[in-house]
Amino acid sequence: MSERGTLVRRMLAVLLAVTAIAAIITSFERSAPPPAPALTPTLVTPMWSARRIPQPVVDAVGAQHLAARLRVQTNGNQACFSVSDALGELASGSVDQPLAPASTLKLLTATAAIENLGPDFHFITSVQGSADPANGSVDRLYLLGSGDPLLATPERIALDQRDPDTAGLPSTPLAVLADRIAAAGIHTVPGGVVGVDAHFDRTRYVPDWTAAARASIGPVGALTVNDGFAGANGTGAPAANPAVNAAAELTRLLTARHISVGTPSSGDAPKGTVDIARIDSPSLSGILTEMLSASDNLSAEMLIRELGAHAGTPTTARGVGEVMAAMSKLGIDTTGAKFVDGSGLSHTDAVTCRTLIEVLGLTVRPQFAPVRDGLAIAAQRGTLATRFRSTPLAGNLRAKTGTLDGVSGLGGFVTSDRPLEFALLVNGTFGESTAFAIREAMATTIAGFPQTTNAATLVPAPNAPNRR
């Protein structure tokens, strides 16, 4: 929200406060009522009554209380927060202090992806043959990845639909690709399926990720299935070679369709191959819903690589540079920002609450509405699906969560007394359960704004007129 809107709010509050004082004084001046015909007595609030104090005066007091309570709830940790409504900033604290954002960084990744790739962008996974099939046989099939993070086996899709964090979120079914190969009339592939992940560079992890961070994400590559983990449902170890793992899963699905297939491998596709089948990912809007709701780290890192590839260099470093360039182009204040990935897994990442609140503010533009639409929803979807149940925030809070060891973040929108936009980051030496508790207490406080009595109850109600 603009500084001008905040200044106008403060000036209005001062003016209304003066008016309110005058109203209170006037309300005590009672003159004798003129003679009137006998009527049924009614309660009347005088025009200049303290009960007519405008709500903005109450809001000004509520904003002070809000800021004070949020400061207490940070528990003495390093923290920033910003809360705004349609008129401007209501409460803030250390908004320009760079802090580790954890997964709230995905808000920047998502926004840059829309700006650079467009909401209708799709990843394409294709299958090519070494030659046209002859009598249902083709020597080799080449499975070419382009970075689709949602490619998954039927077993993995079923598992995800049972998990509250991922239920209802989109995927790219590898089984559909197997069906299309079978529909092409192929019965025999003696040379097997060759996984090709040449679209990105083959650096699998960001160098400064900790061991704990690496355990929460599969190896990054242009061809991955089941988030890069082995096993039919992706619950095994990280795949040593994600392209071979993807080729092996496609081989398994082809075998189930009575197609004879040789040993899976990885490599590059030679010149002269012919198209056999393809499958498109969901649109970028769908990918962002999956990434933001479930806080999918691999999806974020694949998008970062694609941003780099789109700019000519398919590396994480180039993708990060493209995010920063997009923020600058969009007028986002990134003072103090520094990050090395797109997921927020690194503790060296840093952004300010000012940056986060400005990025959230972009979602009023139709172009960036998929960011807001893709956020987790309290008690309904994504990382908030099991949080805030049976509370006023259920269904009324949309936000991006962020959690690392010693990092708690939340940024999004809440509808209670009125629509509010907020961002908060807390850094310290706490664990995951404390991270959840801190941000949930702060979110509850924000939703309770203005946290003061309604203006009409600040003074007693008018007395009933005397009966004569």
Q: Same structural domain for residues 270 and 298?
A: no
The C-alpha atoms of residue 202 and residue 239 are separated, in whole angstroms, by 13
DSSP conformation letters of 420-445:
EEEEEEEESS--HHHHHHHHHHHHHH
CATH code of the domain in which 142 resides: 3.50.80.20
Which of 103-107, 230-234, 386-390, 417-421 shows the lowest mean pLDDT across its residues?
Answer: 417-421
- pLDDT value, residue 430: 96
Q: Same structural domain for residues 163 and 247?
A: yes
Q: Same structural domain for residues 206 and 331?
A: no
Please state the rounded mean pLDDT for residues 267-286: 97
- pLDDT value, residue 31: 42
By DSSP bridging, strand 141-144 and strand 193-196 are: parallel
For 410-468, the pLDDT digits (tens) are 999 999 778 999 999 999 999 999 999 999 999 999 999 886 555 554 445 555 554 44
By DSSP bridging, strand 407-415 and strand 419-427 are: antiparallel
Does 16 score more than 90 pLDDT?
Answer: no
Cβ-proximal residues to 209 (8 Å cutoff; 6+ apart), any chain: 217, 341, 345, 346
For 257-275, the pLDDT digits (tens) are 999 999 999 999 999 999 9
Please state the rounded mean pLDDT for residues 265-292: 97
CA dihedral over 94, 95, 100, 102, signed as positive or negative? positive
Domain final residue pick, 249, 282, 315? 282
Residue 187, Cα to own-chain centre: how many angstroms?
Answer: 44
Q: Same structural domain for residues 296 and 207?
A: no
- pLDDT value, residue 23: 47
Residue percentage of the chain with pLDDT more than 90: 79
Which of 57-66, 128-137, 382-391 shows the lowest mean pLDDT across its residues?
Answer: 57-66
Q: Same structural domain for residues 317 and 415?
A: yes
For 122-176, the pLDDT digits (tens) are 999 999 999 999 999 999 999 999 999 999 999 999 999 999 999 999 999 999 9
Evaluate whether residue 45 is within a structural domain: no
Evaluate whether residue 454 is within a structural domain: no
Please state the rounded mean pLDDT for residues 383-398: 97
CATH code of the domain in which 305 resides: 3.40.710.10
Euclidean distance between the first and the last CA atom of the chain, given in angstroms as a whole number: 56
Q: How many folded domains does the chain comprise?
A: 2
Q: Same structural domain for residues 356 and 428?
A: yes
Q: Same structural domain for residues 265 and 293?
A: no
- pLDDT value, residue 304: 98
The C-alpha atoms of residue 198 and residue 145 are separated, in whole angstroms, by 8
Domain housing 366? 63-116+287-447
For 31-60, the pLDDT digits (tens) are 444 554 544 555 455 544 444 456 666 677
Which one has a higher pLDDT value, 54 or 96?
Answer: 96
What angle do helix axes 297-310 and 284-294 make, rounded to 10 degrees?
Answer: 140
What angle do helix axes 3-27 and 55-73 make, rounded to 10 degrees?
Answer: 120
Q: Same structural domain for residues 158 and 104?
A: no
Evaluate whether residue 188 is within a structural domain: yes
Residue 278: burial class (beta carbons within 10 Å; 0-12, 13-18, 19+): middle
The C-alpha atoms of residue 290 and residue 148 are separated, in whole angstroms, by 12
The C-alpha atoms of residue 49 and residue 60 are separated, in whole angstroms, by 19
Evaluate whether residue 424 is within a structural domain: yes
Q: Same structural domain for residues 186 and 81?
A: no
